[in-house]
Chains A and B, each alone.
Chain A
Amino acid sequence: MANTTGWKPSMEKDAGGPARGDDVGLGGATRGLAYEEALVFEQGSPGRSGVSLPARGGSHDPAAELPASLLRGTVEGMPELSELEVVRHFTRLSVWNHGIDTGFYPLGSCTMKYNPKSSEALARMPGFAGAHPLAPPEMVQGALELMHGLERALSEIAGMDSTALSPAAGAQGELCGLMIVRAHHEARGNPRRKVLIPDTAHGTNPASSALNGYEVVQLASGPDGTLHPETVREAMDEDVACIMITNPNTLGIFERHIAEIARIVHAKGGLVYGDGANMNALLGVARPGDMGFDLIQYNLHKTFATPHGGGGPGSGPVAMKAALAPYQPLPVVVKEGERYRLVTDPAERPQTVGKLREFWGNFGMFVRAWALIREYGPEGVAMTGRLAVLNANYVRARLKDVFHLPYETDSLHEVVFDDKAQKAHDVITMDVAKRLIDHGFHPPTIYFPLVVQGALMIEPTETESKETLDAFVSAMRAIADEARSDAAGLKASPRKPVRARLDETRAARKPVLRWKPGLTVE
């Protein structure tokens, strides 16, 4: 961080004590005005409203048409606020958040890259935002052309033949992919029973398998953090429907035996499913379709910078080889001459697995992803993967002498450390994470992957500058020092946000999941 305003990092002076006015973190975090803000239901006054509505323009009485038992007066409990009150409420809430726009957000496996403002302006064009999903195709040729362009691009980037755009998020993409796997096997007379999943996998992989009626067989990864062919060979039989592999895996390590593993699985008639959560590492460098994968889901909110939005909406298109295309969910966008059309009738695709969500998918996310791909072009997309990997490797190189690296194997777009070195001082990963907040950084993903005890999973992404990474490295190193000198002070963090550490046990034991009049939480 450039120090041009006269501030000096001063966290070490305050450790353990109350935060002071000159307390500045290595990410530049200091104190500002943040407001206490009541729930929206605890504010306002009867009679206020924040909308301007047209007059009804008629005299039809609902009570004349609808039975009294089906009518309600007003919705009790709804607040009554002016427009300014609503604006202030949500503005105040917003500043309690850390977003990518606020600062560095190295949440591993989530690919928190910058979300271009252009994409937001484009998605709001009335031609996109106002297009009705059931409009006749001749009225929405632009939307369909866009979907077709994105479908072609995602297929090319993954090295696949076609891409089903509709799944609503990565986990629904997995569900869709497994349905396709099942349909493929059913067409051969036996759906098979098992899915092989390495121990480094995201929790959604086994959950999606179970939802598809498959039994999960967990495979142990080797001491180098990769899956070994002999492990797969032992587990593989003709009752295995597919193997689900994230590549690079959640340790950020490329599964270098992937081609051989794919051969082993294919030899017994199984399929190779890719969890594309980590596609950012491979953009323009290598393609899943060229290394033995039969199908893979994207996460457009990770790889193609559509907003994470405080937890979605995502978008999880599934790219696949031609042999699986007959099973893909509807709709399928097709180009016939110069005209685009959605195939929605199962009669045209009798082998389709069906439909994953209403209408055609998260179109608003397609617009943003397509805008990014169009702005980048082939060179920009390929540079994205390279710079993401450079950033992660730079952080790794600069921290590996103070944080323990459980796997020495080369990693790509993210790096996983653990708290082994800090535990000697009774400092654990959670403390490191919370202290980062006081510096002005969002913590990495913690305690995942499960194969690493006390994991700290750092994914910087390509949109972060060297100066930001240097500041983050300095903060991590300062925390490592602090673990030795003042563990108690470290455990009192975070001190700067509007709330200190929250009692999660209480939340789960005595659930309070909504406001009611007189709500108190103690």
Chain B
Amino acid sequence: MRYHPHTPEDVRAMLDATGAKSLDDLFRSIPEPLRLKRPLELPPALDEIALFAEMGRLAARNQTSHPPFAGAGAYPHHLPPVVDQLLLRGEFFTAYTPYQPEVSQGTLQALFEWQTYVCLLTGLEVSNASLYDGASAMAEAALMARRLTGRRKVVVSEAVHPEYRKVLETYLRAGHEHLAPVPFGPDGRTDLAALASAVDGDTAAVIVGYPGFTGVVDALPEAAAIARKASALTVSVTSEAVALGLLQAPGALGADVAVGTLQSFGNPVQFGGPAPGFFATREQHVRQMPGRICGATVDRMGRRGFVLTLSTREQHIRREKATSNVCTNAGLCALAATIHLSLLGKNGLAELARVNFERARLLRDALGRAGVKPVFSGPAFNEIAYDVGDAEAVVGRLARKGIVAGAPLGRWYPGRPWSKGALLCAATEMHSPELIELFAREVRG
């Protein structure tokens, strides 16, 4: 067993040092009736060649030869090899939460850079060192708003990612909180009149997508104005963060908290996880922020260095009075995003966002020539819902060609006039003009 270095002589000598007669004797503190008296029923051991053959068999049962046209919270983007090769440096890869800052300055400085990128992208003042994913980041935002306002109700647009809303619902149910959904109109944007009537004196937070799940860039400034009037916090949710290279920062449009995932930077879709959740807010809320936070300080020689800080908010100090139960976050995924953003830089990010915007228009044009039109009239970034007649049928038909056609919206929004036909399709820099043409032909059938 290549990961177990013990020779029989080592085992003998070490047992002698402990006074135990055998390996099993080391477990004498476990009462006999509680011990397992048979081998575990697991598949037999594999050597490395057999392991790769078996895992290769499984991987081959997933069809991934074309980049998916589904986004819906997990976006196929180009991963520069630099990202992965740096990520795999063992000093990053095999370290843990930087509890000992002197031997963790690499992780800590990278997290400080991540926090800065999150602030720059969102236009907000402070950020944490990442959370599990976008959905739990949104749930944590709702919980923070509740702590800050002392109110219970959370008003959430139905145009926010349905997976995120399910997670929010699960988190809130645990604390018996109230969730008030608000519908969206035919333009795909939150119905502002309905929002205004849902927000009241017991509202802790108003949550809108930016862009929303329908692909449409929601009316964030207007929603924030409604929230502000009721002294509720505005939370913006972004799962396609490349959009923030083109769209105004949510903080500049009135969001008090911006959450979501930076999966699009440096992280593969990998069947939905892991990916780095982000969380940014205004400076005055920093002591109610969940999760780890990295801060700058100096060492004994006066040199700049970094540590985890404000930990009196956290579970290992505050236990049941902590702001969150979060311990481990998504450090490695955050590092991948930090590296990718550093490669992109100011102009690369702006250009990547414009390429994405453009490819989504190539797709819209190609489908338009096939007579397929968008469902919602509101402004979009790189993801647009189309009326393809029967979305599930199109998905099934294209699956047989090895193409993931998109996300049929009827799964999450049954019973709407557009439910049957609406297929949400993303186009990124991965979708070449030729592939887009092929896709449009296949959709037309």
CB-based closest 10 A-B pairs: A101-B90, A359-B272, A377-B45, A309-B332, A127-B59, A142-B61, A133-B272, A354-B170, A311-B331, A313-B274
Which residues of chain B have C-beta atoms less than 8 A from A515's C-beta? 112-113, 116
Q: Check A93/B106 contact, CB under 8 A, given A311-B292, A358-B73, A396-B18.
A: yes
Could you give 13 example pairs across A and B, Cβ below 8 Å? A72-B252, A78-B341, A83-B343, A96-B91, A122-B51, A141-B61, A169-B326, A207-B322, A309-B333, A311-B107, A354-B170, A357-B133, A502-B305
Q: Check A521/B90 contact, CB under 8 A, given A50-B345, A378-B41, A465-B6.
A: no
Cβ-defined contact, A259 with B61, below 8 A: no
- Tell me which residues from 293 to 324 in chain B have a Cβ below 8 Å from any Cβ of chain A: 293-307, 309-312, 314-322, 324
Give the A-B pair count, Cβ closer than 8 A: 707
Q: In this complex, what residue of B is CB-closest to A60?
A: B361
Q: Choose among A55, A70, A397 the residue that contacts B17 (Cβ–Cβ < 8 A).
A: A397
Cβ-defined contact, B170 with A329, below 8 A: yes
Q: In this complex, what residue of A is CB-closest to B124?
A: A514
Interface size on A, residues (CB 8 A): 208
Cβ-defined contact, B59 with A142, below 8 A: yes
The segment from A421-429, A440-448, A475-483 found at the interface with B is A440-448
Q: In this complex, what residue of A is CB-closest to B63?
A: A139
Which residues of chain B have C-beta atoms less than 8 A from A122's C-beta? 51-52, 55, 59
Given contact pairs A71-B247, A127-B59, A211-B171, a sample of 19 additional A-B residue pairs in the complex whose CB atoms are under 8 Å apart: A51-B345, A60-B357, A62-B354, A101-B94, A102-B91, A139-B404, A142-B60, A207-B315, A207-B325, A358-B272, A375-B47, A377-B43, A386-B24, A387-B4, A387-B23, A433-B100, A502-B101, A507-B296, A513-B115
Cβ-defined contact, A256 with B5, below 8 A: no
Q: Shortest beta-carbon distance, A391 to chain B, in Å? A: 8
- Tell me which residues from 138 to 191 in chain A have a Cβ below 8 Å from any Cβ of chain B: 138-143, 145-146, 149, 153, 156-157, 159, 168-172, 174-175, 178-179, 182
Q: Shortest beta-carbon distance, A385 to chain B, in Å? A: 9
The segment from B25-33, B148-156, B195-203, B225-233 found at the interface with A is B25-33
Q: Check A361/B6 contact, CB under 8 A, given A39-B109, A310-B332, A375-B48.
A: no
Q: Choose among A91, A121, A174, A285 the residue that contacts B35 (Cβ–Cβ < 8 A).
A: A285
Which residues of chain B have C-beta atoms less than 8 A from A521's C-beta? 296-298, 304
Q: Shortest beta-carbon distance, B125 to chain A, in Å? A: 8
Cβ-defined contact, A499 with B299, below 8 A: yes
CA distance in complex: A519, B379 (Å) = 38
Which residues of chain B have C-beta atoms less than 8 A from A519's C-beta? 296
Q: Check A393/B41 contact, CB under 8 A, given A361-B273, A499-B102.
A: no
Q: Check A512/B331 contact, CB under 8 A, given A50-B348, A78-B349.
A: no
- A223 close to B (CB within 8 Å): no
Which residues of chain B have C-beta atoms less than 8 A from A451's C-beta? none
Which residues of chain B have C-beta atoms less than 8 A from A80's C-beta? 345-347
The segment from A4-12, A108-116, A229-237, A266-274 found at the interface with B is A108-116
CA distance in complex: A494, B111 (Å) = 23
CA distance in complex: A69, B304 (Å) = 39
Query: What does the 1/0 interface line of B66-101 toward A look like (CB < 8 Å)?
Result: 011010111010001010101011111111111111
Cβ-defined contact, B166 with A355, below 8 A: yes
Which residues of chain A have C-beta atoms less than 8 A from B11's C-beta? 387, 390
Cβ-defined contact, B86 with A216, below 8 A: no
Which residues of chain B have C-beta atoms less than 8 A from A412's C-beta? 26-27, 29
Most chain A beta-carbon neighbours within 10 Å: one of B161, B169, B298: B298
- A337 close to B (CB within 8 Å): no
Which residues of chain A have C-beta atoms less than 8 A from B116's C-beta? 39, 41, 77, 514-515
Q: In this complex, what residue of B is CB-closest to A340?
A: B61
CA distance in complex: A169, B129 (Å) = 15
Cβ-defined contact, A256 with B30, below 8 A: yes
- B192 close to A (CB within 8 Å): no
Cβ-defined contact, A72 with B298, below 8 A: no
Cβ-defined contact, A358 with B60, below 8 A: no
Q: Check A212/B43 contact, CB under 8 A, given A60-B358, A118-B48, A308-B95.
A: no
Most chain A beta-carbon neighbours within 10 Å: one of B44, B51, B93: B93
Which residues of chain B have C-beta atoms less than 8 A from A47's C-beta? 347
Cβ-defined contact, B305 with A499, below 8 A: yes
- Tell me which residues from 352 to 406 in chain A have a Cβ below 8 Å from any Cβ of chain B: 353-365, 367, 371, 373-384, 386-387, 389-391, 393-394, 396-398
Q: Check A87/B86 contact, CB under 8 A, given A361-B272, A364-B273, A500-B102.
A: yes
CA distance in complex: A513, B252 (Å) = 19
